[in-house]
């Protein structure tokens, strides 16, 4: 007979071992799917890992893909840690891209530090502003944030399309006849391109560095600030937070703003590091906000684990793009991501509960004699 | 001008037409939530239903009605199969239901399994070989006002009405329905009564999956009879919101679904009548209105989350009772 008991304490090694094992199990399960589909799983995995990490230039493009995932991952991890279900990272990232490119166009004749600083600020503020809407609704009107953040993703996506395809907006390039016929965004000045750091093995985008700094900052906020303490209490027990006199409404709004700002920074980095133009189709194609949720959950909402997981998931996504074709159809990457997440969730059981095999009697404490 | 061409009648008829997939998905989600399982994977399950149903009409042959019935059933069963993953995680392994449901949507949704299946089977860009078309019920389709609204819809619309009646009878007039409500409100009590909590939760999560799949099939067989990645474009999430608007009561999902059907169709109807606004304004209406209506029902008189099953989203662990 199998018995399941809640653990009183969780050994440290389990917190690393279980996600790692979940990952292995997920790849094994997905291998079965590939076998059923008549594909050689080992060859497929070899190609995926080669394109993700080992081929020349692969790590560099993986880091480009991982950068927005790192930031949307942090956004989700921060909010989910206090059981605030912000699944609006996708829309907040779009707004961040709109904000950053808007500032980038406005300040295009300024020196690079001002221009880039302005783009970062634009991304942070726009993302936070978009997230504050559901935050206020959640805090003051008790409106389910899962639904509102999600609905706003679709609205933000339509806003992107509107700005470039169906209006004469500030973001749209109307300078030439072709640009008027085939709508596209204004391309930013060269000075608006964010710096990158060549580390020989790979080129690290500026956004990735910002993401690492944000992860460390978030960890410090949890560890040693009043706000971080309040977030942790709210995450563990709403009742305890109430007894402790924590003003949960303010914390909810502040956390949504923080979470949205992080996702918005992801959007700013998409513009500054990568696209240099507000490109609705490109931004919407990748599902960067949703993948951030996978990253956060796999990192068990631990900010310091988010960068590692982001590189891994980013590698998968990157391999997915570059291998996409008749024998590597779109959708396979989502299947893999989902499978990994399922196994990580199932593995949680091992972290939170002790599972013992044997007769139930063996668990009864021996009588003292 | 014929009264049946008036904008009010056209809007009412198309509100029902566009709202019907939401009825299926919302009633399914409602049954799962009544058992205490929150399943945020509706969007993914609907897309699985849509892609498998479309595959079926392209590859099966037979009489029109037979193929359509079979395809809808296959769509439902395929979605049921993926909902089993959520059931195992949420009921069996006590995982976090919110994250598990999201994982299901990522796994099955627009960038996951449904897209994979559509790509492998090369379903994109094909016109459907069979599709649901409006029936002329009792030959009454030309009756003023009621004709186009009530007697000129496709078979799934009528099936959805039957479904709502069945769900009502089941929930409030049968013993299993009573047990189901007990499981969602107070699993401890249900357990003491001798009700198998886990079995009820598994069964209703799977039924929810089946109905989401039927709702998805409606998209690929009735609304736009073809296959496009992510073609439900958020309907699954609106269905989840609808359960909240409906206060977990099946009959009210009809009202909500048709309201959203109205917002979805408003753009097409107005554009056909030369009202010109940016298309994004119309397209964003269902999403914006979802937020607005959700705000309305979550404040004031409904502040106590009227009707939410008390045990919604929480795993039941007998040992920790």
Q: Which of A341, A338, A307, A319 shows the shortest CA–CA distance to A66?
A: A307
Higher pLDDT, A346 or B305: A346
CB neighbours of residue A87 within 10 Å? 27
Three-state DSSP class for residue B196:
coil
**Chain B CB within 8 Å of residue A360 CB:** no
Q: How far apart are CA A14 and CA A16, in angstroms?
A: 5
Whole-number Å distance between alpha carbons of B269 and B262: 10
* Most A CBs within 10 Å, among B89, B112, B256, B283, to test the A interface: B112
Separation of alpha carbons B255 and B261, rounded Å: 10
- Residue-level pLDDT at A36: 79
Name every residue whose Cβ is closer than 8 Å to that of residue A224 and which is 6 or more positions away in sequence.
Answer: none
The minimum CA-CA distance between A272 and chain B, rounded to whole Å, is 25
Q: Are strands A196-198 and A203-205 parallel, antiparallel or unpaired?
A: antiparallel
Provide the pLDDT for residue B271.
Answer: 78
Residues of chain B in contact with residue A162, where contact means CB-CB under 8 angstroms, are 278, 280-281
In this prediction, residue B145 carries a pLDDT of 81
Sequential pLDDT tens for chain A (369 residues): 566 777 777 777 877 788 788 888 888 988 887 787 777 888 888 888 898 899 888 999 999 999 999 999 999 999 999 999 999 999 999 999 999 999 999 999 999 999 999 999 999 999 999 999 999 999 998 888 988 999 999 999 999 999 999 888 999 998 888 888 888 899 999 999 999 999 888 999 999 999 999 999 999 999 999 999 999 999 888 888 888 888 889 999 999 999 999 999 999 999 999 999 999 988 988 788 888 998 998 898 999 999 999 999 999 888 888 887 766 777 888 888 888 889 988 888 877 777 777 654 444 444 544
Q: Where are the alpha helices (DSSP H) in B35-154?
A: 42-59, 64-87, 97-108, 113-120, 146-150
Here the tokens at position B27 are: 């009633």
Task: Tell me the percentage of chain B whose pLDDT exceeds 90.
Answer: 61
Given an 8 Å threshold on Cβ–Cβ distance, is A154 in contact with B119? no
Query: What crossing angle do the helices spanning B250-272 and B235-245 adopt, rounded to 10°?
Result: 130
In terms of Cα–Cα distance, which of B254, B85, B253, B308 is closest to A341?
B85
Nearby residues of A199 by Cβ (< 8 Å), 6 or more positions away = none
Does residue A332 sit at the B interface (CB-CB below 8 Å)? yes
In angstroms, the separation between the Cα of residue A335 and the nearest Cα of chain B is: 5
Name the residue among A227, A341, A303, A180 with its Cα closest to residue B112. Answer: A341
Q: Do A290 and B106 touch (CB under 8 A)?
A: yes
CA distance B319 to A170: 61
CA B319, distance to chain mean position in Å, is 35
Q: Considering only CB atoms, which chain A residues are within 8 Å of B244?
A: 144, 147
Contact status, residue A21 vs residue A344, Cβ threshold 8 Å: no
- A69, B58, B98, B102, B250 from A338: Cα distances, Å: 15, 28, 14, 9, 31
* Model pLDDT for residues B69-83, shown as the tens digit of each residue: 999 999 999 999 999
The Cα A113–Cα A194 span in angstroms is 9
Which whole-number Å values give the CA distances from B212 to B37, B122, B154, B204, B309, in the listed order? 15, 23, 18, 12, 20
Q: Is B115 on the interface with A (CB under 8 A)?
A: yes
The CA angle A70-A128-A194, to the nearest 5 degrees, is 50
CB spacing of B115 vs A331 below 8 angstroms: yes
Q: Which of A152-161, A238-247, B173-182, B232-241 has the lowest mean pLDDT?
A: A238-247
pLDDT value at position A154?
92
Summarised one tens digit per residue, pLDDT across range B25-77 is: 999 999 999 999 999 999 999 999 999 999 999 999 889 999 999 999 999 99
Flag whether residue B244 sits within 8 Å of chain A, measured between CB atoms.
Answer: yes
Domains observed in chain B: 3-320 (1.10.3470)
Q: Do A143 and B241 touch (CB under 8 A)?
A: no
B109 has a chain A CB within 8 A of its CB? yes
Question: How far off is chain A from B70, nearest CA to CA, in Å?
Answer: 24
Q: What is the pLDDT of residue B195?
A: 94
Q: What is the pLDDT of residue A39?
A: 78
């Amino acid at each position: 007979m199998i018995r399941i008991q809640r653990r009183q304490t969780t050994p440290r090694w389990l917190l690393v071992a279980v996600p790692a094992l979940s990952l292995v199990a997920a790849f094994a399960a997905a291998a079965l799917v590939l076998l059923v589909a008549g594909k050689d799983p080992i060859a497929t995995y070899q190609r995926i890992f080669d394109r993700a990490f080992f081929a020349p230039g692969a790590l560099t493009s993986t880091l480009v893909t991982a950068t927005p995932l790192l930031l949307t991952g942090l956004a989700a991890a921060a909010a989910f840690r206090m059981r605030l279900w912000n699944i609006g990272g996708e829309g907040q990232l779009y707004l961040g891209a709109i904000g950053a490119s808007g500032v980038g166009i406005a300040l295009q004749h300024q020196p690079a530090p001002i221009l880039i600083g302005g783009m970062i600020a634009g991304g942070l503020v726009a993302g936070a502003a978009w997230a504050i809407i559901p935050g206020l609704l959640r805090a003051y009107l008790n409106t389910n944030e899962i639904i509102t953040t999600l609905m706003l993703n679709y609205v933000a996506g339509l806003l992107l399309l509107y700005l470039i395809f169906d209006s004469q907006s500030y973001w749209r390039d109307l300078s030439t006849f072709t640009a008027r016929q085939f709508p596209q965004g204004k391309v930013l000045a060269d000075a608006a391109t964010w710096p990158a750091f060549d580390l020989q093995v790979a080129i690290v985008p500026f956004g990735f560095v910002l993401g690492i700094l944000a992860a460390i900052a978030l960890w410090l906020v949890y560890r040693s600030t009043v706000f971080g303490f309040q977030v942790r209490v709210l995450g563990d027990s709403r009742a305890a937070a109430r007894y402790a006199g924590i003003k949960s409404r303010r914390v909810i709004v502040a956390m949504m703003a923080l979470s949205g700002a992080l996702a918005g920074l992801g959007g700013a980095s998409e513009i500054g590091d990568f696209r240099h133009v507000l490109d609705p189709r490109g931004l919407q194609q990748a599902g960067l906000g949703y993948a951030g949720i996978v990253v956060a959950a796999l990192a068990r909402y631990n900010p310091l684990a988010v960068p590692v997981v982001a590189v891994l998931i980013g590698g998968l996504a990157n391999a997915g793009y570059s291998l996409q074709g008749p024998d590597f159809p779109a959708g396979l990457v989502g299947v893999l991501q989902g499978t990994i997440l399922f196994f990580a969730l199932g593995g949680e059981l091992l972290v939170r509960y002790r599972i013992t095999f044997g007769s139930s009697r063996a668990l009864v404490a021996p009588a003292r004699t | 001008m014929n009264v049946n061409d008036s904008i009010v009648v056209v809007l009412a008829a198309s509100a029902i037409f566009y709202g019907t997939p939401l009825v299926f998905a919302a009633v399914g989600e409602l049954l799962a939530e009544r058992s205490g399982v929150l399943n945020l994977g509706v969007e993914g399950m609907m897309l699985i239903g849509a892609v498998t149903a479309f595959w079926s009409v392209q590859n099966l042959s037979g009489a029109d009605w037979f193929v359509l019935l079979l395809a809808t059933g296959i769509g439902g069963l395929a979605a049921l199969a993926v909902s089993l993953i959520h059931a195992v995680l949420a009921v069996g392994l006590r995982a976090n239901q919110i994250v598990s449901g999201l994982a299901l949507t990522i796994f099955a949704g627009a960038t996951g399994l449904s897209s994979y299946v559509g790509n492998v089977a090369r379903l994109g860009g094909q016109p459907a070989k069979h599709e649901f078309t409006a029936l002329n019920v009792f030959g009454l389709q030309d009756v003023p006002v009621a004709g186009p609204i009530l007697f000129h819809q496709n078979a799934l619309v009528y099936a959805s009405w039957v479904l709502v009646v069945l769900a009502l009878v089941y929930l409030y007039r049968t013993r299993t329905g009573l047990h189901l409500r007990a499981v969602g409100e107070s699993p401890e009590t249900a357990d003491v009564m001798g009700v198998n909590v886990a079995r009820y939760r598994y069964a209703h999560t799977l039924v929810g999956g089946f109905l989401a799949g039927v709702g998805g099939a409606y998209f690929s067989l009735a609304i736009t009879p073809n296959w496009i990645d992510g073609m439900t474009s958020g309907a699954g999430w609106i269905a989840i919101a609808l359960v909240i608007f409906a206060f977990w009561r099946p009959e009210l999902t009809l009202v909500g679904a048709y309201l959203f059907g109205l917002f979805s169709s408003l753009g097409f109807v107005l554009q056909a009548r030369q009202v010109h606004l940016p298309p994004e304004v119309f397209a964003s209406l269902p999403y914006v209105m979802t937020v607005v209506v959700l705000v309305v029902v979550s404040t004031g008189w409904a502040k106590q989350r009227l009707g939410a099953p008390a045990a919604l989203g929480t795993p039941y662990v007998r040992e920790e009772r």
